[in-house]
Structure 1
Amino acid sequence: MKSEVAQTQGWASTLDAVVVYAQGALCTRVARGTVPADGRVRVTGLPRSLDPGSLRARAVGADGVRVTEVRVEVDAEPAATEDSGSLRREVERLRDVLAAAQARRDRQANLIGETAALRPVPPGREPGDPPRATPADAWLRLAAFVDERLRAQQLRLTELEEEVRRAEHDLAVATDRWARASTDTPSDDIATSVVAVVTLDGVDAGAGPVDVELEYGVPGAVWVPAYRLTHRRGEDGGTLVLRASVAQRTGEDWTGVRLALATADLRRRTDLPKLRSLRLGRRQPAPAPSGWREPPAGLADLFSGYDAAGPRPVPVRAAPDPVPPPPPMPPGVGAAPVAPPAPGGPAAPGAAPFQAAPPPPPPAAPQAYGMLQAAFGGAPAAFDAAPRGAAPAVRSRRAAPTPPPPPAVTAPPQPREAELDYAALVLSGADEPGDRRGRLFPGPSYDPKAEESRRRAEAVASLPLPGHAVRPRTSAGSFDHRYDAVARADIPSDGVWHTVTVAEIPVGLRTEYVCVPSVEQTVYATVVLSNATDQALPAGPVEVMSGDDFLTTAALPTLAPGGVRRMGLGPAEGVRVTRRTQLHESTAGLRNNTTVLAHRVHVELANRLGHPVTVEVHEQVPVTSEPDVRIDEQADWTAPGQDGPDRYAPGTRVWRVDLPAGGGTALDGGYDIRVPAAKALAGGNRRS
C-alpha cells in the first residue's frame, strides 16, 4: 500500500536555469524526492507549451542511479477557486457593474424627458361658452415645479454619468490586466498540468533522496542586446555593461532563475550525417539488425471469435421528443431483424431500434508498426517490414485473392520520429479496421491544447523592437556566443520586454572628433571602442554616460573579439570648423597643351571645450583612371589605412589635429589636376 501511495505522489519541481536563444528557450528544472520501489516518479510543474521531443532527464549526485525512460503526460483537475480565473471573474463583475450603471443613467434620462414634457393643457371649450380667464398663477407654479424638478434630476444625471465613466475606466483597466496577465496562471475552470514520468534504475532500498534534472525546450522567448557605456573624460578606458531585453510567453514565470543568453538558433539541427561505406564485390556487410519484423501468420484468426459473435449492440439514447419508427427496410438489403418494442413502453435496454446495412469497408490504413507479445500468447513481438510509402496488404480472409506480392526488400525500414517513440504507441483494438487490429500505431497528441499554447507563445516573436535594437541572428553573423548573467533574474510570462543586467565588459575607449567640412561644416563626436575579450558583442542600443551625466543613446555596431569600431555620439557644439576653397586655372607645357586646375583648401578649427580634443578632418582628392590625366597633391595630409575601425572611399585624405582646451589651428592643402588641353572634366573644369 505504501508503494502505491509513493507512486501516485508527484515530485514538485523548481525552475532553476533558462538559456534564451535567438527564438525559444531551453529550461532546466530540478526535482528531489525518495524513489519508490518500482522506480517511477512523476515530476510536476512543466509548462503546456513544451516540446515533448526535447525532454531530457538525468540523475544528479547519485552514484549508480540512471534514468531509463522519460515521457510526457497531462493531468487534469478542477482549478482552485482562489488561484484560477480571478482576473476573468473581476472583469465579469465589472461588466455587470457597468451595465447596472448604464441602466440607471438611461432611466434617469427618461425621467428627465418625461418631466420636460409637462405642459399646461386648457380644458375643452364647448360651442357658445364665453371666454375664460387664463390661470396665469397656475401656469407659473407649474413652470416653477418643472424647473425645480429638472434641476434636481439633472444633478442626479450628472452623478450617474460620472459613475458610468468610473465603471468604464475600471473595466478597461481590469480588461487590460486580464489581457496582459501571465500565462502561467490557468484561465479555465479545469486546470491541466504537464508532468514528466521518469523511470529510475539502480536505486538501493532505503536510499536517501535523489535529485533529478529535467531539460526541455519551449517556444515563445526572444531577446535583444542592450548596453550602457560609462567613461570619464581624459581616460582611455571605460565600462560597457551588457544588458538584455527579454520577452517571454512560455506559460511559466521565470522566478529566480539562472539566466543565460545565446545567439544561436535553437531549431537548427546540429547532428552529423551518417556516411555509409560502399563496397564493390559480392561480399557485403550484413545489414544492421532492426527492431521491425513481419507480422506472424494467423493474425486475422485472433479476432475470429469476436467477429463470430456478431456486431456490437447499439445503445438506445433517450430523446426529448418521441421519434417515429423508421420505415421497414426492403428485403435483401442485408438488414438484421428489428426487435419489437415492448408494449406500452420504450424498447428494451441494449436493443437497437433498427440495424442499418453495414458500412462500406474503410480505406487502407497507414503502415502498422508492430504487435504486443502478450496478444499472441507469448509470441515474439512482430513488426511490419514494408517500406515507407508502400500500400499495406489487407490481411482479411473475406478479401478477394490478390496478386503475389513483390519480392521482399532487404533494406531495413526507415520509421518516422513518432513511430520510434515506443512509449507513445497504442495497440489497436478489435473495433479497428481489419488492417489495424492488434498492431501498434502512434497515439493521439498528448495534449489537445498544446498546439494552441505553442501558437500563442510564438506570437512574442512579432513584438516591436526597442529603438536601435537588432535581433541576435541578424547581428551575430557567422559566430554563436553565450552570455551568462551574473545574478538570478525574474521574468514573468506576460509577453512584454524586461531589461536584465548580464555582465560588465571592460573595453578600450578613446574619444575622437570627426568632420567632413566639404559635405557639412559640423564636427561630430565619436567613441572608438576596442574589444579585448574573447566574446563578440552583438549590435544594439547603448546609453552613453560621462560620469553621472547622460549624454545620448546611440547604436553600437557588432564588435568582434579583438575588433575596433567607431560609434557616433552626435554633433559636438563645442568644436567649430570653417572651410574655404579657391580654384585657379592655368596652362602649362611647351605649347600650352596642358590645363592645370589648382585647388586650394583652407580649414580652420576652434576648440571651445574645457579639455583637449583630437579632431580628424576628412578631405577628398579626385581619383582618375585616365593615363594622360595627372593629379598632384599639395598638402601634408595622409591616406588612411584600411585596417582601422572605418572603411574609407578611394581618394580620402585625413588630417589629425590635437587641439588644446580653448585653442585653434588652421590647415592648408590642395591638389593640382593636369588635363590635356583637348579634354575637359565631366561637368566643367571650374568646380570646387
Structure 2
Amino acid sequence: MTAETAQRWGSALDEVVVYAQGALCRRLARGSVPPDGRVRVTGLPRTMDPGSLRARVTGARAARVVEARVEVEAEPLDEAASDALRREVERRRDEWAAAQGRRDRQLGLIKEIGAVRPVPPARRREDPHRRTPVDAWLGLADFVDERLTALHTRLVELERDLEVAEHAFMVASDRLDRASTDAPSSPVLTTVSAVLTFDVLAGPATAETAEPSAAREGGEVEVEIEYAVPGAVWAPAYRLTHRHGEDGGRLVLRASVAQRTGEDWTGVRIALATADLRRRTDLPRLRSMRIGRRQPSPAPSGWREPPTGLADLFAGYDATGPRPYGAGAPRAVGGMAKGRPLAVGAGPAEDSGGYGETTGHGETGGYGVAGGHGQAAAHGAPPPPPFPGGVQPQAYGSAPPAPAASGPAGGARQRSAGMMPPPTVAMAPMASARPMTPRSPAAAAPGSTPPPTAPSPAVGPPRPSGAELDYPALVLSGPDEQGGRRGRLFPDVPYDPVAAEYRRRAEAVAALPLPGHAVPPRVSAGSFDHRFDAVARADIPSDGAWHTVTVGEIPVGLRTEYVCVPSVEQTVYGTLVLSHATGQALLAGPVEVVVGDDFALTAALPTLAPGGVCRVGLGPAEGIRVTRRTTMHESTSGLRNSTTVLDHRVHVELANRLAGPVTVEVRERVPVTSDADVRVEEHADWSAPRDDAGTEQHAPGTRVWRVELPAGGTTVLDGGYEIRIPTAKALAGGNRRS
C-alpha cells in the first residue's frame, strides 16, 4: 500500500505552547492501525517546519511509530468552497473601477461641451464686412450653459457613487486583511499531512504487557503529532483588584497573543513560555588534548569518502556528446530513484543516464557515491578500470556503516532532537578524487620514469555535517551536475515558494506594535525562562491581531501607602506596595488597577522575581493635604568667626481628610559633601530610607518621615540641618540655600 492509498486519520489541535516567537503545536489522532502500518494524519498547517515533526503513541504501548515524514498535497477547490471574503473584495473592486470609469467619461463630456465656441467662417478679401448674429451667439451660450448644468449635476452623483464604491472596497479589503489565514487563499487547496508507519508489538503478553493490547485486538490507537510553526507572539498583561482596608488583592495574569500560523486555535490548551524556540539544543563537546603520535580513532559512522577514480566513471557518458534539450536523469533519493528503485548489481540502467547502480551500501546512503560499471555498458564505451581488489576504499577501514535509526524515521528524529534542528556544522574539505587514467605502454615499460603526480592534499578524518548523515534526505546527483557533485550524494533541500510565502506572511506578526506598557518576554525574562499554563482552553483565530487570554490568578500581598516629596511638589500620591511570594517570576507588562469597583489607571509593572516588592502608583490623593515652609539663618562661629553656619529649618504640615487612617511617607533631602572641612549636622527625627528588597533607588542624602494619620487628623513635622563651611572656603554671596 502506498502513501497515496494509506488510511487517513483526522486530527484535532489539542495544545499549543507559544514561545517568544513561534509556537509548538500538538495534535491528537485516533484510529485503527491497518495491517501494513501506514497511516496518513491530515490537518497540519502549511507553515509548519518539516524538520520539527514528531510522533509518538500515547496511552497503551501496543504500537510504536517507526517513521514519520511530511507530505504536501494539492487539489482544486470547488467554486462553492472558495473564499467568500476574497470574492467580495473582487466584486467591490469591479464596482469601484466601473464607478471610476463613469466618472471619467462624465469629465470627458464636460470637457468637450466646455470647449464649444462659435467659430466665424473664413472671410475672403473681396467680401464685404458682415455683422455678427448676436442671437446665434447667445443661443449657443445658453445651450452650453444648460448642457454643462446637467452634466455637472450628474457629475456630483457620480462622484458620490465613486466615494461609496471606494469606501466599500476599502472596508472589504480591510476585512480580508484581518481575516483568519485558516481559510484557503487561492483556488488550489494545499494540505499538509504526516505519513506515519507503525510497528505493532506482537507476541505473547509479558509482565510489562500483561493486559491484552488494543492494537492486537484491532482496537484504536491514539497518536500525538508535534510540530513547530512560526508566526506567533505574546506579551504579558495583568489586572490588579484591591479594596480599601484590605492587605491582599487579586492579580490576574493575562496574555496578549497574536498568531498567523495558518490554522485557527479553537478550544486548545494554551501555555506561554519565554524561551526561544529556535535556540540550539546540542551540547558542546570538550575534547582532550593529547601529545604524541598516536591519536584515538574517531567513532565510526555510516559516512564514507568518495572513492578515487570517480571522474573516470563518466568518461563514456561525456564521449557520447551533448544530450538533447530537456533530457535529464532522475535523481535517487536515499538510494531510490524517483519513480523506480535503483538496480543493484553490474547490469546497466535504462532510465538513469548510465548510473543505474550504487555500491553495496549506496541504497542507504552509506557510501555517498555511485559505483559499478552499468554506465559504460549503457553507452557502448569501454568500462573504466575496476578498483583494486574489487573493494571500495573506506575512510575507516572495514568498519561497517552505522545504520540509520529506524530507517527513514531515524533522520526525522535526528532533525527533531531539539525544538529546532541545530545549525549545520561546516564540512571539512575532503581529499580530491584523483582520476584513474590508463597508463600508456611507454609508461609501463621497465625502467621508465613514472610521470610526476600532483602532491596529495593533507588528509585527515572526515567531518561530515549533520545534513550528510540524514540518509532519507540524500539525493544522488546525476551526470548533468556541474563540478564535483556528479555521482555523489548530497542533501536535497528543495525550495518551496508557496511554503516560503506562507512563512513570510506568518513571520510578519513579529512586527506588530506592542500594546501600551508591554515588554517582549525575552527582554523582561532576562537570563531565565518561565512557562505559564492557562487554566482554561481558549480560542485564538489566525488573523494576526492581538487577543487577550486569561492565564490564571496569582496571590499577592498588597498594602496602601501614601508618598509625598513636598520640596518638589506639595502633593500626596497614593501607591500600592505589591509583594510577590510565589515561586514563579512576574514579567514586566501593563497592569490595570481597579480600586474597589472603580477602574483607577493602567500602569507599568516591572519584572518581579520570587519574593520581590514593587510600588504601583495610583495618582494624586486629593484627600490628604501637605504644606511645606523653610527658613534659613546665616551666622558665624568659632575663633575669630572662622566658620560660616547656615541653619536650615523645614516645617511640614499634613492633614488627613479621608474616612480612614493612612500612612504617609514624607521624603526630604539634606546636602551631601565630599570635602572633609565642610560638615552637615542634622537636627530632625527623620531617618535614611531602608530598602531591603531593592525595589527603589534613592538619591544620596534622602531622608524619610513615616507618619500614621487617623481619619481627620493633622500633624506637624519639624526638621532641619546646619551646614558649617570654613570662612576661607565660603563664596561671597553664594552661601544662601533655599
TM-score bracket relative to the smaller structure: 0.7 to 0.9
Equivalents in 2 of 1:154, 1:446: separation in Å?
57
CA 1:554 to 1:373, structure 2 compared with 1: closer, same or farther past 3 Å? same
1:423 matches 2:420:
no
- Per-residue deviation at 1:208? 2.0
Of 714, 721, 730 in structure 2, the residue corresponding to residue 671 of structure 1 is 721
Task: Determine the structure 1 residue equivalent to 2:252.
Answer: 241
Equivalents in 2 of 1:414, 1:10: separation in Å?
41
CA 1:381 to 1:442, structure 2 compared with 1: closer, same or farther past 3 Å? farther
CA 1:595 to 1:618, structure 2 compared with 1: closer, same or farther past 3 Å? same
CA contact (8 A) 1:74 1:447 kept: no
CA contact (8 A) 1:491 1:498 kept: yes
Equivalent residue of 1:419, what SS? coil
1:41 matches 2:56:
no
Equivalents in 1 of 2:178, 2:9: separation in Å?
30
CA contact (8 A) 2:308 2:435 kept: no
CA contact (8 A) 1:182 1:253 kept: yes
Equivalents in 2 of 1:69, 1:384: separation in Å?
30
CA contact (8 A) 2:231 2:261 kept: yes
Task: Determine the structure 2 residue equivalent to 1:685.
Answer: 735
Counterparts of residues 171-186 of structure 1 (less than 5 Å): 171-186=169-184
Equivalents in 2 of 1:213, 1:180: separation in Å?
31
Equivalent residue of 2:729, what SS? coil
Aligned residue type for 1:521: Q
Equivalents in 1 of 2:195, 2:501: separation in Å?
23
- Per-residue deviation at 1:589? 3.0
**Which deviates the most, 96-105 or 536-545?**
96-105
Counterparts of residues 12-23 of structure 1 (less than 5 Å): 12-23=10-21
Task: Determine the structure 1 residue equivalent to 2:211.
Answer: none
Equivalents in 1 of 2:434, 2:699: separation in Å?
74
**Which deviates the most, 416-425 or 270-279?**
270-279
What TM-score, normalized to structure 2?
0.76
1:466 matches 2:515:
yes
CA 1:261 to 1:606, structure 2 compared with 1: closer, same or farther past 3 Å? same
Task: Determine the structure 2 residue equivalent to 1:323.
Answer: none
Task: Determine the structure 1 residue equivalent to 2:197.
Answer: 199
How many residues end up aligned between the 2 structures? 630
Equivalents in 2 of 1:132, 1:598: separation in Å?
106
Equivalent residue of 1:216, what SS? strand
Task: Determine the structure 2 residue equivalent to 1:28.
Answer: 26
Of 357, 363, 370 in structure 1, the residue corresponding to residue 367 of structure 2 is 370
CA 1:405 to 1:121, structure 2 compared with 1: closer, same or farther past 3 Å? closer
CA 1:395 to 1:58, structure 2 compared with 1: closer, same or farther past 3 Å? farther
CA 1:627 to 1:310, structure 2 compared with 1: closer, same or farther past 3 Å? closer
Counterparts of residues 66-81 of structure 1 (less than 5 Å): 66-81=64-79
Equivalents in 2 of 1:625, 1:259: separation in Å?
57
Of 52, 56, 62 in structure 1, the residue corresponding to residue 50 of structure 2 is 52
Equivalents in 1 of 2:733, 2:232: separation in Å?
57
- Per-residue deviation at 1:120? 8.3
**Which deviates the most, 466-475 or 567-576?**
567-576
Identity of aligned residues (%): 69
CA 1:515 to 1:381, structure 2 compared with 1: closer, same or farther past 3 Å? farther
- Per-residue deviation at 1:261? 0.8
CA contact (8 A) 2:308 2:433 kept: no
- Per-residue deviation at 1:122? 9.6
Counterparts of residues 303-318 of structure 1 (less than 5 Å): 312-314=323-325
1:273 matches 2:323:
no
- Per-residue deviation at 1:155? 3.9
CA contact (8 A) 1:254 1:491 kept: yes
Equivalents in 2 of 1:58, 1:380: separation in Å?
41
**Which deviates the most, 242-251 or 413-422?**
413-422
- Per-residue deviation at 1:190? 2.8
Task: Determine the structure 1 residue equivalent to 2:558.
Answer: 509
Give the CA RMSD over aligned residues.
3.7
| CA deviations over 1:73-107 (Å, ceiling 9, x no partner) | 32222234344454333323222212222222333
Task: Determine the structure 1 residue equivalent to 2:597.
Answer: 548
CA 1:121 to 1:648, structure 2 compared with 1: closer, same or farther past 3 Å? closer
| CA deviations over 1:39-71 (Å, ceiling 9, x no partner) | 232222222332233222211113142222222
Equivalent residue of 2:503, what SS? helix
CA contact (8 A) 1:369 1:419 kept: no
| CA deviations over 1:284-325 (Å, ceiling 9, x no partner) | 655322112344688678767766766544479xxxxxxxxx
- Per-residue deviation at 1:561? 0.8
1:606 matches 2:655:
yes
CA contact (8 A) 1:23 1:219 kept: yes
Equivalent residue of 1:449, what SS? helix
CA 1:529 to 1:130, structure 2 compared with 1: closer, same or farther past 3 Å? closer
Equivalents in 1 of 2:393, 2:254: separation in Å?
57
| CA deviations over 1:215-270 (Å, ceiling 9, x no partner) | 22222221111111111111111101111111222222222221111112222224
- Per-residue deviation at 1:446? 6.1
Equivalent residue of 1:246, what SS? strand
Counterparts of residues 192-341 of structure 1 (less than 5 Å): 192-202=190-200, 204=215, 207-277=218-288, 286-295=297-306, 312-314=323-325
CA contact (8 A) 1:18 1:28 kept: yes
Equivalents in 2 of 1:444, 1:398: separation in Å?
38
Equivalents in 1 of 2:216, 2:317: separation in Å?
46
Equivalents in 2 of 1:393, 1:555: separation in Å?
65
Equivalents in 1 of 2:562, 2:301: separation in Å?
71
- Per-residue deviation at 1:620? 0.7
**Which deviates the most, 423-432 or 474-483?**
423-432
CA 1:254 to 1:604, structure 2 compared with 1: closer, same or farther past 3 Å? same
Equivalents in 1 of 2:521, 2:325: separation in Å?
61
Equivalent residue of 1:96, what SS? helix
CA contact (8 A) 1:7 1:40 kept: no
CA contact (8 A) 2:649 2:721 kept: yes
1:390 matches 2:388:
no
Equivalent residue of 2:468, what SS? helix
CA 1:473 to 1:120, structure 2 compared with 1: closer, same or farther past 3 Å? closer
Q: List runs of 5+ in structure 1 lacking aligned partners.
A: 317-367
Equivalents in 2 of 1:683, 1:102: separation in Å?
79
Equivalents in 1 of 2:186, 2:711: separation in Å?
69
Aligned residue type for 2:63: V
Equivalents in 1 of 2:105, 2:88: separation in Å?
26
Task: Determine the structure 2 residue equivalent to 1:651.
Answer: 701
Equivalents in 1 of 2:263, 2:371: separation in Å?
41
